[in-house]
A = this chain, B = another copy of it.
């Protein structure tokens, strides 16, 4: 137990200006890597796109791997920010369908181009960098847990069988999302992700308790 510091390399103090520069670099890198892949993005491109210099880049990041780590974290934050408003208050089938619609619209806008920010990173990095894989997997799990929390609220409201395993359902929905996204990317159309999510949601519908809800609609 000498002076051993665990994981974080204890980044030195950051000036306000420094934080801004760092942010600009990561943002540019994230965009480039999403469009051209990690291996397809060069440090020089990041420098140019961010309007910084070599020494700045290497001042804030030891090497490309460190930059990639920061990019993964930023993309995680981005995706979560985009998803949170929909998932945070998810508590009904209708809410689930609204989420589906938002996702499909998002994919439709770009004609499927550029897959899911996290999904692309996962595909490229999962087998080639263990630290990256761990970060990305954590993002998936946390994303799923948001979904699962919503499903649990649906159980509480009597819209979903309490026997259903919400974690497993969430994984299934997540898979439909990622797979649909990939097929939409290859086909340049939102149809696959729309179908995939519909299929997944139909599963949730099928797990609705026998209608004896508060609304009292007779069969």
Contacts and interface: CB of A to CB of B under 8 A. Distances in A.
Interface string A191-212: 1110110111011001000000
A88 B65 CA distance: 45
Contact of A186 (B35, B113, B133, B196): B133
B175 A183 contact: yes
Contacts of A177: 179
Report the copy number of this chain in the oligomer. 2
Interface stretch (A36-44, A79-87, A92-100, A154-162): A36-44
Interface range for A = 35 or more
Contacts of A126: 115, 185-186
Contacts of A37: 37, 39, 124, 128
A145 to B, nearest CB: 14
A36 to B, nearest CB: 7
Contacts of A24: none
Contact of A195 (B122, B168, B192, B202): B168
A176 B196 contact: yes
A52 interface: no
A131 interface: no
Contacts of A122: 182, 185-186
Nearest to A138: B186
A119 interface: yes
A219 to B, nearest CB: 16
A200 B202 CA distance: 10
Contact of A179 (B35, B141, B180): B180
B172 A182 contact: no
A39 B128 CA distance: 13
B195 A175 contact: yes
Given A115-B127, A127-B185, 9 more contacts: A37-B37, A115-B126, A119-B123, A141-B187, A168-B195, A175-B175, A175-B183, A175-B192, A202-B203
8 contacts: A136-B186, A137-B188, A172-B198, A174-B192, A175-B183, A175-B199, A199-B200, A203-B203
